[in-house]
A and B are shown apart, each in its own frame.
Chain A
Amino acid sequence: MAGHEGNGLPPIGSVNKKNQIITDPQELFFLSPRSQAFLTGSEVIKEAVKRASVDFSVAYPITPQSEASSLVGELYADGYVGDYMRGESEFAVMGECAGGSFGGARVFTTTAGPGTLRAFENFPMWAGSRLPIEVVFTCRGVNSPLSIQPDTLEIAFMLETGMLLWHAETAQDLFDYILKGYIVAEKPEVHLPIGVIVDGFFVTHTKDMVMMTPENRTLPHYNPYASPVTCMDMESPPVRMMRDPFVMKSNYISYMTHASWQLEVRAAIERSRKHTVALLDGLIEVENPDAEIMIVSSGTAVSQGREAIRLFRDQGMKVGLVKIKTIRPFPTQELRAALKDAKHIFVPEFNIAGWMAREIKSILDNNERVVAGPHVAGGMTMPPEIIVEEIERSLALKGKKELIHG
């Protein structure tokens, strides 16, 4: 956006060149009047970025995020985004984002599936360099065979990058997470990159009702001088970092430096919890908390789970649900509490690996309660009937087992 030389960021209440009022985040999220709009997920990305005081955005075409990243280009042409460019590959795009963030800019980008994997080396580097870049992953299948269809496998690769990962279920989540994501990611004690995940096509290419914050209000600018690491703009004294670079040393100090920094990145993820809980109203959402059968997932698998609950209700059967909003930080305590009394836990997923089920199994007692399924992959849809079938089949099998062994 406008230049902010030195420490002089435009204050809250001032107006930017697009006549947007720089607004306190709490006020923007919770007090300012919201208006209804009927938009595709891609358009929602544009609307959120428009209100995020983004300094720099890099785009590269890959389905299903091409429309969203082009729309961000329109924002740039209209003067809402400081600078914008098309990169040459996702590896380069994420490097360009890194450069922007090292230089103190608020950076936004989007990618998907094969793009995520091509860019991959950058993500742990972003986290290790403490760059609060926001990337929206519009999930799609990972080759091979070639697929452009919705599939969340790519997130399995992202789990240990040191990034914050939030998974939107709906267009509304997408709008809110894009804006709130910056606020959490840029906290000095967090200061990490954030991936806002959204299921490609199911959300990006369908229209949904979204309650939007006012168009004439925008987030405060990113303040790079509140960063826990130096902003690389030569506006602070450039003391030599060290006499003896650790990189080539095989000694305890060099190992310890590396290990402790990785621990610190993970600790920073943990420190994001309190901010995230406050902004997202908890890391999980629970429906029918006292049900013995619980469906647990993230993204649009949650929406399908909600429909499955309705089908069960029509049969007179009570089934509950847990929506996981943040994958990193993982809501360990929240899930343990919410699933304490559950007898059967089902994890529907849009990928072949069942990574979410593995995550859940790894933190629960009596994890034989967790059924990793149903799974669909490669772009297949998951009608709620499939979830119902999986639950019925599994319970029937379990019943038989109990008979045999009983």
Chain B
Amino acid sequence: MGKEKIQINEEFWDIMPDDYKDLVTHATYGKTDRGWKDVGSSTELIAEHSLCAGCPESIAFRHILASIPAPEDTVMVGSTGCTSLVFPMVAVHNIHSLFGNQNAVATGLKRALNVRFPNKNKDVIVLAGDGATVDIGLDMTLQSWFRGERFTTICFDNELYANTGGQESGLMQKGFVAKMAPVGKKFEKVRLPEIARESGCAYVAVLTTSKPSLVERVVRQAVLIAREIGPTYLQIYTPCILEIGKQSMEGLQEMRDSEAAGERFKFREFITPEAQAFIDDMAAKKKAEKLASAAN
């Protein structure tokens, strides 16, 4: 969809909602270098949210939405959980249907869009919590990777079930005491990034949302690789400050602490040689364009 489709008839300008007017005047549709620096000046994809004050998930949402390469042709699939509270306020088409079926829905969606728009890139991005991705939906998460479905899966890993009040999840750390783990979780945090690598993902990254430029790079990369090469997986630490006993202003520090050397969210990524070649090629082309335009 291009910007021409969202124009407002002049007669109706005064009665249109501010959100919509903002979309028309500021949408970054078609802007190839959109990124986290647009946050603040361009709020067309997300302006408000109904998450807890200081929730790192809300920051992650902003950074991701600012970084997706083509919002005008991107459809997102969510799942039940805290993320589903934000999706109604996100201005790209997004689907919530059931808890855990997000990668199945994305599979059907991507295939339908391929059939209907064979000459157009329509990006599909799954964004779901760790309960949805790793516990109840694990089968469908993995199967979509086995099949090589061309979409990006982003897991907001807060290491527990936040929306239902802090229960144990598969991505929780071993030993953590939580609801439904009254004497501490008895098994290790599920190693989904490694499983993703072995399951056919062309690109996998583990990170927090503390560094917007890093989020921008991996999100962009993940979506473009999914478009051209194969499935991609991002696991982003978005701590539930409420359930780990932190204050609203402590989310950022929690993320920084957890990405220190030797910690569980130390940045790491995996990329297949094919995907790396694609990224290198893209970078080389961009460089050549820059040089050419500088020469002109």
How many angstroms between the C-alpha atoms of A93 and B147 in the bound complex?
A: 14
- B291: Cβ under 8 A from any A Cβ: no
Annotate B66-103 by CB proximity to A: 1 below 8 A, 0 otherwise.
00000011110100000011001111111101100100
- A91: Cβ under 8 A from any B Cβ: yes
Q: Report the minimal beta-carbon distance from A135 to chain B, rounded to whole angstroms.
A: 13
Q: Is the CB of A233 within 8 A of B122?
A: yes
Contacting residues, chain A, for B1 (C-beta < 8 A): 234-237
> Which residues 76-111 in A have Cβ within 8 Å of B in the complex?
82-83, 85, 87-89, 91-93, 95-105, 107
How many angstroms between the C-alpha atoms of A242 and B84 in the bound complex?
A: 12
Contacting residues, chain B, for A88 (C-beta < 8 A): 104, 139-140, 143
Q: Is the CB of A103 within 8 A of B20?
A: no
How many angstroms between the C-alpha atoms of A242 and B105 in the bound complex?
A: 22
Size band of the interface chain A makes with B: 35 or more
Interface centre among B1, B77, B94 (most CB of A within 10 A): B1
Interface centre among B72, B92, B110, B115 (most CB of A within 10 A): B115
Residue in A closest to B23 when the chains form the complex, CB atoms: A237
Contacting residues, chain A, for B95 (C-beta < 8 A): 99, 102, 232
Chain B residues with a Cβ closer than 8 Å to the other chain, count: 50
- A22-30, A244-252, A268-276: which one contacts chain B? A244-252
Pick from A4, A101, A240, A243: contact of B108, CB below 8 A: A101
Given contacts A234-B72, A248-B85, contact A99 B104 (CB under 8 A): yes
- B191: Cβ under 8 A from any A Cβ: no
How many angstroms between the C-alpha atoms of A92 and B92 in the bound complex?
A: 24
- A406: Cβ under 8 A from any B Cβ: no
How many angstroms between the C-alpha atoms of A235 and B97 in the bound complex?
A: 20
Q: Is the CB of B85 within 8 A of A238?
A: no
Contacting residues, chain B, for A87 (C-beta < 8 A): 104
Annotate A37-62 by CB proximity to B: 1 below 8 A, 0 otherwise.
00000000000000000011010000
- A64-72, A121-129, A187-195, A290-298: which one contacts chain B? A121-129
Q: Is the CB of B115 within 8 A of A92?
A: no
How many angstroms between the C-alpha atoms of A338 and B168 in the bound complex?
A: 58
How many angstroms between the C-alpha atoms of A168 and B110 in the bound complex?
A: 33
Interface centre among A237, A245, A247 (most CB of B within 10 A): A237
How many angstroms between the C-alpha atoms of A356 and B209 in the bound complex?
A: 56
Contacting residues, chain A, for B77 (C-beta < 8 A): 99
Q: Is the CB of A3 within 8 A of B116?
A: yes
Contacting residues, chain A, for B143 (C-beta < 8 A): 88, 92
Contacting residues, chain B, for A235 (C-beta < 8 A): 1, 5
Q: Is the CB of A234 within 8 A of B75?
A: yes
Residue in B closest to A84 when the chains form the complex, CB atoms: B111
Q: Is the CB of B116 within 8 A of A95?
A: no
Q: Is the CB of B105 within 8 A of A96?
A: yes
Given contacts A105-B112, A234-B122, contact A92 B101 (CB under 8 A): yes
- A1: Cβ under 8 A from any B Cβ: yes
Given contacts A234-B74, A240-B19, A240-B91, contact A83 B115 (CB under 8 A): yes
Interface centre among B47, B88, B106, B118 (most CB of A within 10 A): B88
Of all A-B residue pairs in the complex, the 8 with the closest CB atoms, nearest first, are A99-B108, A95-B104, A103-B112, A95-B101, A105-B112, A99-B109, A100-B108, A82-B115
CB-defined A-B contacts under 8 Å, sample of 21: A3-B119, A56-B108, A83-B111, A83-B114, A85-B111, A95-B107, A95-B108, A98-B101, A99-B95, A99-B104, A103-B75, A104-B116, A105-B112, A121-B98, A232-B75, A232-B94, A232-B109, A234-B92, A237-B23, A238-B92, A241-B88
With A232-B75, A241-B88 known, 16 other A-B pairs at CB within 8 A are A1-B115, A55-B112, A55-B116, A56-B112, A95-B140, A96-B111, A98-B105, A100-B109, A102-B109, A102-B112, A103-B112, A107-B112, A236-B5, A240-B47, A240-B91, A245-B85
**Residues on A facing B (Cβ under 8 Å):** 1, 3-5, 55-56, 58, 82-83, 85, 87-89, 91-93, 95-105, 107, 121-122, 125, 129, 230, 232-245, 247-248
**Residues on B facing A (Cβ under 8 Å):** 1, 5-6, 17, 19-20, 23, 47-48, 50, 72-75, 77, 84-85, 88-95, 97-98, 101, 104-120, 122, 139-140, 143, 147
